[in-house]
Amino acid sequence: MDPIRTILAEWTSEVPESEIRKLLKQKTKYYLAGGLPGNLPTKIFPEILRELADYYDSDEQNVINEFQYGPTAGHPGLQKVLAERLAKRDKIPGISGEQDYEKVFISTGSQQGTYLVLDILINKGDIIITPSPAYLGFVTACVKVGGHVVTAPTDEYGLIPEYVENTIVKAEEGFGKKVKLLYVVSDSDNPKGTTLPVKRREALFNIAEQYDVMILEDQAYKEIQFEEKRKPIKSFDKDNTRVIYASTTSKEAAPIRIGYNILPDELFKEAEKAKGYIDLCTPTLTQRLAEVYYRKYIDEELPKIVQKYKEQKEITYKALVETFPEGEYTNPTGGFFIWFQAKGEKAYTFDVDKFNQEVLYPNEVLIVPGGAFYPPKGSSYDEEAREIKPLKVIKGGMRIGYSFLKKELIGEGVRRLGKLLTEHL
């Protein structure tokens, strides 16, 4: 055996390379794979950088202060703007405006924020419930930290509260330990694009209270909404004890690696401690860029950006309806993705991974195969058997990302995908 392999930590052989990182290396004309934001405020960011340059030029002390290590939990200027926004737009309990800025935890992307949650909560074998399918950057991280992922079924609205409750009961019975964490992407989930109705949000909150399970609510797509915005699960958490709220600039502004999170007090302190050992602090310069954008520009820019994503989604959906073979698909009201899966048994047998590489790629199309949105190991709640079973993977599913490709190419790309699917499914 290669001597280097023998010294690597065990998780390195349990956790495979991310499917999406691999697909990001493949370039193609009709790129419907990675969820890269294609609509960014291209004129505004250079403008902000010029504004910041003037500020740094005006006094060298400004450079010394800001090209510097900053507080681990975030730069107060950014925390203040975000506290104000979280109070006004998201109605987060306990955040009434700028003055509550110290309750906003800045992370280096929400990827770091959700990883820190796992880092401080999960011991080997602890149970985490996730949707089936779920954001691969989270489910795989669960396995990396030693967690046991149990997936719960979803429909066209996302997690189904009754099945989540059954999953908790059966997992606790079967594995003899309490479920620790429930992961929910309430708005426009990745990969299915589903949005939870408010009734389901409330029901999930009540289930979490009843079974004493912490919820991690990932609101990555909360600002990319084509219809009215719904209140987050966090809004039911009046005492800030049950729901960890994770959000990010990545989709609504740009992936400048800034996440913003609200955590129960005790968890905030532990996350701050853990972050100290990971990166000491998020770079101040990017936080300053975000601070100015959120203070002065976002309210004007965001509706224009959302409108573009909406058009991209509509083109994708129309082409899908016109050209795809029989199957199940979502019609998202926000976010970056549509999900399609083969009908019946083929949802579990059709090898989309092979289809992607051997058929789509040579035809200049790429999507992300459904199998990517599952942990490398884990269990699933089976709604028919009403039991926990070995991990059940919808590998006959696919995520179609409409966020990056120019409007002019999307319809053509999705129609080509539909034609090839009809020939091969």
Ligand X SMILES: Cc1ncc(COP(=O)(O)O)c(C=O)c1O
Q: Contact positions toward ligand X, by CB under 6 A?
A: 35, 109-111, 135, 137, 185, 190, 218, 220, 248, 250, 255, 259
Q: Identify which of residues 286 and 316 has a Cβ nearer to ligand X in the complex.
A: 286
Q: Could you tell me which residues are beta bridge partners of residue 218?
A: 246
Q: Identify which of residues 119 and 218 has a Cβ nearer to ligand X in the complex.
A: 218
Q: How far is the CB of 22 from ligand X (least distance, A)?
A: 15
Cα–Cα–Cα angle for 119, 120, 121, rounded to 5 degrees? 100
Q: How far is the CB of 68 from ligand X (least distance, A)?
A: 23
CB 188 within 8 A of CB 334: yes
CB 403 within 8 A of CB 35: yes
Q: How far is the CB of 287 from ligand X (least distance, A)?
A: 14
Q: Identify which of residues 137 and 375 has a Cβ nearer to ligand X in the complex.
A: 137
Q: What is the three-class DSSP state of 43?
A: coil
Q: Identify which of residues 76 and 133 has a Cβ nearer to ligand X in the complex.
A: 133
Q: Identify which of residues 110 and 341 has a Cβ nearer to ligand X in the complex.
A: 110
The number of residues in the chain equals 425
Q: Identify which of residues 35 and 70 has a Cβ nearer to ligand X in the complex.
A: 35
Q: Identify which of residues 375 and 418 has a Cβ nearer to ligand X in the complex.
A: 375
Lookup: tokens for 344: 């019946």
Q: What is the three-class DSSP state of 402?
A: coil
Q: How far is the CB of 231 from ligand X (least distance, A)?
A: 18
Q: How far is the CB of 34 from ligand X (least distance, A)?
A: 9
Q: Identify which of residues 248 and 316 has a Cβ nearer to ligand X in the complex.
A: 248
Q: How far is the CB of 96 from ligand X (least distance, A)?
A: 25
Could you give phi then psi for residue 312, rounded to 5 degrees? -60, -40
Q: Identify which of residues 186 and 356 has a Cβ nearer to ligand X in the complex.
A: 186
Q: Which residue's entry shows tokens 């991974």?
A: 353
Number of other residues whose CB lies within 10 A of the CB of residue 339? 26
Could you give phi then psi for residue 362, rounded to 5 degrees? -60, -20
Closest-CA residue to 253 (of 282, 223, 225): 223
**Alpha carbons 149 and 378: distance in angstroms, whole number:** 5
Closest-CA residue to 19 (of 35, 39, 30, 37): 35
**Closest residue to ligand X, based on beta-carbon distance:** 109
Q: How far is the CB of 111 from ligand X (least distance, A)?
A: 3
Up-side HSE of residue 411: CA atoms within 13 Å toward CB? Answer: 7
Q: How far is the CB of 56 from ligand X (least distance, A)?
A: 26
Distances (CA, A) of 365 to 315, 368, 405, 409: 16, 11, 11, 11
**Alpha carbons 406 and 39: distance in angstroms, whole number:** 9
Closest-CA residue to 294 (of 106, 57, 13, 141): 106
List CB contacts of 396: < 8 A, sequence separation 6 or more: 341, 342, 346, 347, 348, 349, 350, 351, 352, 370
Q: How far is the CB of 79 from ligand X (least distance, A)?
A: 16
